[in-house]
Structure 1
Amino acid sequence: MKLPYEWQIGWRYTRAGKRTTGNGFISFIAVISMVGIALGVAALIVVLSVMNGFQREVRDRMLSVLAHVEIYSPTGAIPDWRQTATEALRNREVVAAAPYVDAQALLTRGETVSGVALRGVEPSAEAKVEDIASEMTAGRLANLTPGGFGIVLGKELAGNLDVGLGDKVTLVAPEGTMTPAGVLPRLKQFTVVGVFSSGHYEYDSGLALIDIVDAQALFRRPAPSGVRLKLKDMERAPQVAYDLSKTLSGDLYIRDWTRQNKTWFSAVQIEKRMMFIILTLIIAVAAFNLVSSLVMTVTDKQPDIAILRTLGAGRRSIMKIFFIQGVTIGFIGTALGVGFGSLLAYYIPVIVPAIEHVFQVQFLPPSVYFISELPSQLEPSDVLRIGVIAFAMSALATLYPSWRASRVKPAEALRYE
């Protein structure tokens, strides 16, 4: 199939840069434009993939100690949590349910005092709702037994209190006991029966688990605070929470994991948008280089334009020739950037450890970041969006030089030839 002459000439101008550089595949400035677009696209893909990886890593570590959906009562206790759990399990997305008691308390050991978020759990049911049972570094979650007054601490919390398995800690409940001498705090000694490490500092340093029966007795709760749910697909948590709000009986509140950490996720999304805007400027700079490259090409090819005009080519055809040239450069640069960026983002978990090994450095010390590896998650939607934006900017950059080429007057262009 024979292509229109505009396409043939446009591709020929793209391939042949001899009049600009003496010889070579393409003019030097056009090469710089192409490389600039490719580097901008690749950098944007890699940075967004790393940010997606960090978000996934932190999210997964959060959800190792958090439920996908929580159902709780405004009164602080659900009278019949089993009925609520049964109704929730009727939803096809819900795979497990477990009761819990939430409270705030102080833990003391000698002169050390730490405030904690205390959670009363039923070990067998809790293991089905979250992954904390598989993240125990010492002891087992099943060691929590009714009346045993055992406690499971986060790794950082255990370190702050300087305790290990079998050690005693004193729990101070905020609700006091009325006596003739006044209000006295309720104290209870617990034995450390387990230590977990979720990898998330906030929970490792401020969360403690006890048996739900002990929690109800200590805080004088007539019933559990609520029910925690695990879903087949955690990404559907907001929709499932909405559906449950219509089907559950009783005056209940429902929140999913995205609402529990709304501030953090909002901050991450804002950071991603800002990084996207900042790195898109790299592509914009490369597009400006493309403008200068095409303007120089138009100036250099004025005699050719004049000859084409005298042979009957219209202004639209001249404009199309240089538009095809610019779009081809932009397409090649975008394609190279998408390919290189996607490859680099996919193999970051392999490349970064290799660099650390060669140069004997560690980019993410576990003691500082609690993540020892640089995570990466390549999202096809991000790659598609970046590619479309880069190509669109390249196409827009060709409009002015192409328009300028169409305005060349044959008589003036051939005056000095």
Structure 2
Amino acid sequence: MNYELFLAKRIIAAKQYKSSISSPIIKIAILAIAVGMVVMMIAIATGFGLQQKIREKLSGFNGHIQITNFDNNNSEITLEPVSKNQEFYPEFKNVSDIKNVQVFATKGGIIRTETDFEGIIFKGVAKDYDWTFFEEYLVEGKIPDFYGEVSNDVLISKEISNRLNINLGDKFNILFVKENPSKAPWIRVVKVVGVYNSGFQEFDENFVIADIRHIQKMNRWTEDEVGGFEVLINDFKDIKIKSDEVYTQTASTLNSQSIMDKYPGIFEWISLFDNNIYLIIVIMILVAGINMITALLVLILERTQMIGILKALGSNNVSIRKVFLYNAAYLVLKGLFWGNLIGLTILFIQKYFGVITLNPETYYVSEAPVYLDFWYIILLNIGTLLLCLIMLIIPTLIISKIDPVKSIKFE
């Protein structure tokens, strides 16, 4: 029989244990572990959630990897066409884990209404386009259908809708300047069939999604000429590897660029979240560990007579230390239980109700996103428990200094 565990259970169940001097200190230690667990879970869930949402939105507007002409054009507007007759289109057979390859083209335009006008990026897509991203953020209407004849249907953002007072079902003019500015611009009358709201203001205030055939006609391209290709991959973690593979599998006249290379500033910024998360975890575990060390020291000093009796009966220091470590493990697990319960409750409330909002101009999202991965939660619990127990080995060393002759007192 494991008598160390038996003694630890008796100590925990004892009434005098709950009303002892160490009781308030133990409660504070449990509270520290619970609060630390809540803070760590929120830091991980919101930090990783924000990273994931920003990556999703960048890839939703640009794809994970873009293949375009090898030129010095660094703008969002495609100038020179690329032939659709490529080995990797419509399916990238030489690179694995590719979700979709879709064509696109962009052109600068000006929306003109009776009272306002505003510059936009007119992004043309075709029937091979993956609408998963825009379906998630669609707030009104439907996704345009570009399968039949040239369509005048467009998808605009809630930002453009509010600023220019253009609503679902409305028709409006878009002006496109010709290469010769002295000539009258092209005018396209389009109809709003859907409104999206991604919360990424930098893109929402600029992009109008439309039929690529409008751009092909204005640029005098053939049906086989497009602005470029967007490549979607299955797992974002592999983006660097897949970007290199895509680059090697494209012609020398073409250039492939991942969104990490296209927007390095944003990705450098969100990578800093990892450092913040690790720092919070270290601080919270240290605070919880120090509180537990204090509680365990008080508990040991409070039980010196019991320790002396156990030594007199033949127990060695290792066995007695196990008794107090079992006791400490119970307290840590109790703190973890309440921390998980409170933390998960807060995270689920935020995930489904979006109580905490953010400034989209700064964070690219309108509310704090939550990423829940139960493997992270399990590893966080196991890591916290093990680290706390390792730290608690130090205060149990005082047991070897207790003299049974001096500690046992008979009344």
**What is the match of residue 356 of structure 1?**
none
1:367 positional shift:
10
Taking a change above 3 Å as real, the CA distance of residues 72 and 19 of structure 1, as seen in their structure-2 partners, is closer
Q: Distance in 2 between matches of 1:317 and 1:151?
A: 74
Partners of 1:152 and 1:209 within 8 A in 2: yes
Q: Distance in 1 between matches of 2:343 and 2:28?
A: 18
Taking a change above 3 Å as real, the CA distance of residues 266 and 17 of structure 1, as seen in their structure-2 partners, is farther
Give the total of aligned pairs.
Answer: 395
**What is the match of residue 124 of structure 2?**
120
Cα RMSD of the aligned pairs, angstroms, is 4.0
Give runs of aligned pairs for residues 43-82 of structure 1, distance below 5 A: 43-75=39-71, 77=80, 79-82=82-85
**What is the match of residue 13 of structure 1?**
11
Instruction: Map Cα deviations across residues 64-96 of structure 1 (whole Å, 9 max, x no partner).
Output: 433233211213645432224437432453354
Percent sequence identity is 15
Partners of 2:350 and 2:356 within 8 A in 1: no
Instruction: Map Cα deviations across residues 244-275 of structure 1 (whole Å, 9 max, x no partner).
Output: 23333333222344544554344334235424
**What is the match of residue 204 of structure 2?**
204
**What is the match of residue 357 of structure 1?**
none
1:188 aligns with 2:182: no
**What is the match of residue 169 of structure 1?**
174
Partners of 1:6 and 1:320 within 8 A in 2: yes
1:143 positional shift:
7.0
Larger mean Cα displacement after TM superposition, 83-92 or 31-40: 83-92
Structure 2 residue identity aligned to 1:98: Q
Aligned mate of 1:270, from 259, 269, 272: 272
Structure 1 residue identity aligned to 2:380: I
1:41 positional shift:
1.2
**What is the match of residue 229 of structure 2?**
227
Partners of 1:294 and 1:326 within 8 A in 2: yes
1:45 positional shift:
1.8
Q: Distance in 1 between matches of 2:118 and 2:403?
A: 82
Indicate the SS of the match to 1:89.
Answer: coil
TM-score (norm 2): 0.77
Instruction: Map Cα deviations across residues 327-362 of structure 1 (whole Å, 9 max, x no partner).
Output: 332233224433553455346546x58xxxxxxxx6
Q: Distance in 2 between matches of 1:87 and 1:189?
A: 31
1:386 positional shift:
1.9
Indicate the SS of the match to 1:398.
Answer: helix
1:166 positional shift:
2.2
1:403 positional shift:
0.6
**What is the match of residue 86 of structure 2?**
83
Taking a change above 3 Å as real, the CA distance of residues 204 and 51 of structure 1, as seen in their structure-2 partners, is same
Instruction: Map Cα deviations across residues 108-165 of structure 1 (whole Å, 9 max, x no partner).
Output: 556745333332333x233x46554784845863479988887654332244344453
Structure 1 residue identity aligned to 2:293: V
Q: Distance in 1 between matches of 2:243 and 2:211?
A: 27
Indicate the SS of the match to 1:248.
Answer: coil
Q: Distance in 2 between matches of 1:203 and 1:392?
A: 45
Q: Distance in 1 between matches of 2:403 and 2:183?
A: 94
Q: Which has the higher helix share?
A: 1
Give runs of aligned pairs for residues 246-257 of structure 1, distance below 5 A: 246-257=248-259
1:300 positional shift:
1.7
Partners of 2:144 and 2:155 within 8 A in 1: yes
Give runs of aligned pairs for residues 12-411 of structure 1, distance below 5 A: 12-16=10-14, 18=16, 21=19, 27-75=23-71, 77=80, 79-86=82-89, 88-90=91-93, 91-109=95-113, 112-122=116-126, 124-126=127-129, 128=130, 131-132=133-134, 135=138, 137=140, 141-142=144-145, 153-163=156-166, 165-172=170-177, 176-177=179-180, 184=182, 187-194=185-192, 195-200=194-199, 201-219=201-219, 223-233=225-235, 236-271=238-273, 273-275=275-277, 277-278=279-280, 281-342=283-344, 344-346=346-348, 348-349=350-351, 352=353, 363-364=356-357, 375-411=369-405
Structure 1 residue identity aligned to 2:273: E
Q: Distance in 1 between matches of 2:143 and 2:374?
A: 40
Instruction: Map Cα deviations across residues 211-237 of structure 1 (whole Å, 9 max, x no partner).
Output: 434324545668422112344555554
Q: Distance in 2 between matches of 1:144 and 1:172?
A: 27
